[in-house]
């Protein structure tokens, strides 16, 4: 199993680095840091094995596409997944890589997603979707991201109170994973996210204990941390 590492690239600058015979001169011309240059060179060597000789940018793109299919993501695997109407986000790309036996981090998957678009391998076509509920509305927003923080979701929908309910409904139905939540899913399925008996969430950190004014009993509610990540579930 190989680990795929893809840096954030400006494709035009990467082209100049890949074809440069004098790296020092091209570094000054492009105005990139030594650290960025090292990443570009490492990725160049991974794809091409060193400097390449091409006549123009279009020829470079053709070779680049071939090398991406050869060394990173097979054409047939990409085609098969996209024909299944997979969500247009970097998480889809990450899962294709992993299904083909390799590893890739979130950051590299994001960089690869950008590279695939820059290289003309994929394009994002807006689709009309019927939204029948607030849950669908939040779900469709998450679909465009793949992974998004709770804070971003709340900000997107102006921190409306129904957003919390929608996030938990998506979690209960298995459509998303909430990374950071330590309350068992079965508790959320039974009690939702509030008015939970304290004894069933003993030891959980992602809760707030309060006193029910009508009964005088201590109850618990789940508190979503804005930094937590909401991730599309591969097998909802």
Residue-wise pLDDT for 85-94, tens only, equals: 778 899 999 9
Residues 44-84 have pLDDT tens digits of: 999 999 999 999 999 999 999 999 999 999 999 888 877 76
Can you name the residues that pair with 235 across neighbouring β-strands?
Answer: none
- How remote is the C-alpha of 14 from its chain's centroid? 23
Tell me which residue of 63, 60, 47 sits closest to 5, measured CA to CA. Answer: 47
Residues 211 and 217 sit within 8 Å (Cβ to Cβ)? yes
Q: Are 38 and 5 in contact (CB under 8 A)?
A: no
The pLDDT, as a whole number, for residue 118 is 94
In angstroms, the CA 41 to CA 33 distance is 12
Whether the pLDDT of residue 126 is over 80: the answer is no
Whole-number pLDDT of residue 13? 94
**How many Å apart are CA 111 and CA 109, to the nearest integer?**
5
Classify the C-alpha dihedral 165-166-168-172 as positive or negative: positive
Note the pLDDT of residue 24: 80
- pTM confidence score: 0.78
Three-state DSSP state, 5: coil
Chain segment 200-236, per-residue pLDDT in tens: 999 999 999 999 888 889 999 999 999 999 999 865 4
Determine the Cα–Cα distance for residues 83 and 40; give it in Å rounded to an integer.
32
C-beta atoms surrounding 92 within 10 Å? 22
Span of 42-46, 95-99, 157-161, 195-199 with lowest mean pLDDT: 157-161
- pLDDT score of 235: 56
Mean pLDDT over the full length of the chain: 91
Q: 174-202 pLDDT, tens per residue? A: 999 999 999 999 999 999 889 999 999 99
């Amino acid at each position: 199993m190989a680990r795929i590492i893809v840096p954030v690239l400006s494709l035009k600058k990467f082209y100049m680095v890949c074809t440069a015979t004098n790296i020092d001169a091209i570094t000054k011309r492009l105005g990139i840091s030594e650290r960025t240059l090292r990443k570009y060179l490492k990725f160049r060597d991974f794809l091409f094995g060193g400097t390449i000789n091409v006549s123009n940018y279009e020829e470079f793109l053709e070779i680049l596409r071939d090398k991406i299919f050869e060394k990173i993501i097979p054409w047939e695997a990409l085609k098969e997944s996209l024909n299944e109407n997979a969500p247009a986000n970097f998480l889809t790309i990450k899962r294709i890589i992993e299904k083909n036996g390799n590893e890739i981090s979130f950051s590299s998957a994001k960089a690869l997603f950008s590279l695939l678009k820059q290289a003309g391998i994929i394009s994002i076509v807006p689709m009309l979707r019927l939204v029948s509920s607030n849950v669908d509305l939040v779900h469709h927003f998450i679909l465009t991201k793949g992974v998004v923080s709770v804070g971003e979701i709340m900000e997107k929908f102006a921190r409306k109170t129904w957003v919390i309910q929608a996030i938990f409904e998506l979690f209960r139905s298995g459509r998303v994973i909430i990374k950071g939540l330590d309350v068992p899913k079965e508790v959320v399925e039974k009690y939702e996210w509030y008015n939970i008996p304290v004894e069933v969430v003993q030891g959980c950190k992602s809760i707030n204990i309060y006193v029910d004014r009508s009964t005088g009993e201590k109850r618990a509610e789940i508190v979503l941390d804005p930094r937590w990540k909401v991730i599309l579930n591969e097998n909802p």
